[in-house]
Amino acid sequence: MISKYYQFEAGWSDFYNQNLNNNHPDYEPGYSFLYDTNGSQASPFFFLGAKRAERFNDNYRKAGNIVSLLVVNHVVSAFDALFTVKLKNARLQANADLLRADAFSVTFHF
């Protein structure tokens, strides 16, 4: 949360020194932790933290998608195994008699 909302930008260790030295050299001690809502006074650590949080969230979403794909893959594999076993167990068997040319039998197993 410290990199998500601008009201937490004063919590970074370099916020006070950056604003004191760069932005407002005439800071009064009581107002040294004022923040703005557009990020102009935010420290570089704040933006670095925001970038890292965004990268973490992107990786988290990708991991969630991969887990979903793994579950779908397992379901599809289970149906594939079911149909493969059914086809193997219900095979068509043909027999021919080599001594008689007119004899041919077909056996179908359910």
Neighbours of 10 (CB within 10 A): 18
Q: Is residue 1 domain-resident?
A: no
- For the chain, what's the residue count? 110
Q: Is residue 30 domain-resident?
A: yes
Assigned token pair, 92: 């068509």
pLDDT in tens, 10-68: 777 777 776 666 555 565 655 555 666 676 677 788 888 889 999 999 999 999 999 99
Separation of alpha carbons 37 and 39, rounded Å: 6
pTM for this model (two decimals): 0.56
Domains: count for the chain = 1
Separation of alpha carbons 81 and 85, rounded Å: 6
- pLDDT above 60: residue 74: yes
Domain that holds residue 14: 6-108
